[in-house]
């Protein structure tokens, strides 16, 4: 198939590399001013991987959209703008795959909702979610991931096209739950980094169990299945997000409490704002996510917030 990847950062380039190994005709698009694309054009590599010679590189959006499948791998907060740019080219009847995790910070909208807002309804959309790091995939370490969509035929088409020895794909059964869960795990990851940075890594156990439970409540209130919080897109991604040295969200949380600079994208920073919007909309209490929010945006000290969490009632463990 002819597949274009929109976005040439660490995930976009990894997807291009992976789909090329499966024999697809791959185009990687990036903005002309992007430092990532400038390096790919000069060297066909970044700090993590080397692109195969068959992968076509372009900075022109129009020609890039002439493909069977479009995979979007951009920052979640940039998705609406990217969709509007694509819409200007009269985009119709495309299969669109969102390989990103997040929620719109101002509205709390899921990424598929943003696509529905901005693109023609003839375009069919799916999400590609689940655990994995570029470094592991490029080293040949396999993982399991999820394709989900409101369109069952699209799920089947994509799983057949994208499956290989490196990634086993599962059919998602809960688009709402998988999108919220995948986004929220980055917020829990920031909390894990704050524990690491404070020398309290042993508290990751309670963080994992309680964090999953509060996200399950939110998913249910939003109309999804609370069991999705225990699947690959949330709890199943905790190892890669709460413990891995490659996790940008964990590393950001650690750097934040240590007052150290951190320049890489940590999607959980914006996602926690979106979760607070959803918590208010659905009347769901999110103690851990709320604590992360208060540290990041409320000027609260992490030790004080942690003490408040421990002071909460312990009577109803699974409430």
Active site residue 185: yes
Predicted confidence (pLDDT) per residue in 59-103, tens digit: 999 999 999 999 999 999 999 999 999 999 999 999 999 999 999
Residue of 155, 185, 204, 220 marked active site: 185
Residue 266, CA distances (Å) to 22, 55, 63, 166, 200 in order: 29, 28, 31, 25, 21
What is the chain's mean pLDDT, rounded?
A: 95
pLDDT for the residue 57: 98
pLDDT for the residue 82: 97
pTM here?
A: 0.94
Task: pLDDT band for 309, please (50, 70, 90 cuts).
Answer: confident
Task: pLDDT band for 142, please (50, 70, 90 cuts).
Answer: very high
Class of domain 2-171: alpha beta
Q: Where are the domains of the chain?
A: 2-171, 175-310
Residue 96, classed as helix, strand or coil, is: strand
pLDDT for the residue 211: 95
pLDDT for the residue 35: 95
What's the CATH code, domain 175-310? Answer: 1.10.1040.10
What is the mean predicted confidence (pLDDT) over 25-51? 96
**Does residue 311 carry a pLDDT above 90?**
no
How many separate helices (H) and strands (E) can be counted in the chain? 14, 8
Domain 2-171 identical in fold to domain 175-310: no
**Does residue 258 carry a pLDDT above 70?**
yes
């Amino acid at each position: 198939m002819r597949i274009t990847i929109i976005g040439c950062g660490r995930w976009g380039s990894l997807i291009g590399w992976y789909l090329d190994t499966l024999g697809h005709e791959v185009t990687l698009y990036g903005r002309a001013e992007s430092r990532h694309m400038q390096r790919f054009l000069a060297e066909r590599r970044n700090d993590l991987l080397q692109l195969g010679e068959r992968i076509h590189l372009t900075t022109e959006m129009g020609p890039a959209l002439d493909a069977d499948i479009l995979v979007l791998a951009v920052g979640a907060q940039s998705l609406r703008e990217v969709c509007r740019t694509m819409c200007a080219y009269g985009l119709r009847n495309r299969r669109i795959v969102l390989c990103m995790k997040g929620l719109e910070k101002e509205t709390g909208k899921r990424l598929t909702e943003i696509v529905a807002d901005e693109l023609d309804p003839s375009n069919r959309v799916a999400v590609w979610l689940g655990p994995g790091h570029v470094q592991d995939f490029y080293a040949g370490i396999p993982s399991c991931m999820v394709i989900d969509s409101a369109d069952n035929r699209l799920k089947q088409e994509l799983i057949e096209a994208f499956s290989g020895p490196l990634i086993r794909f599962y059919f998602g059964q809960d688009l709402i739950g998988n999108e919220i869960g995948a986004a929220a795990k980055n917020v829990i990851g920031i909390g894990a980094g704050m524990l690491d940075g404070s020398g309290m890594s042993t508290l990751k156990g309670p963080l994992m169990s309680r964090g999953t439970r509060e996200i399950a409540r939110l998913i249910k209130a939003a109309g999804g299945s609370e069991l999705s919080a225990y699947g690959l897109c949330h709890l199943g991604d905790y190892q890669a997000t709460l413990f891995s040295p490659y996790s940008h969200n964990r590393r950001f949380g650690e750097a934040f409490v240590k007052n150290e600079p951190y320049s890489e994208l940590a999607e959980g920073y914006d996602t926690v704002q979106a979760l607070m919007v959803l918590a208010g909309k659905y009347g769901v209490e999110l103690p851990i996510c709320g604590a992360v929010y208060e540290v990041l945006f409320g000027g609260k000290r992490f030790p004080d917030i942690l003490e408040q969490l421990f002071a909460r009632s312990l009577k109803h463990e699974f409430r």
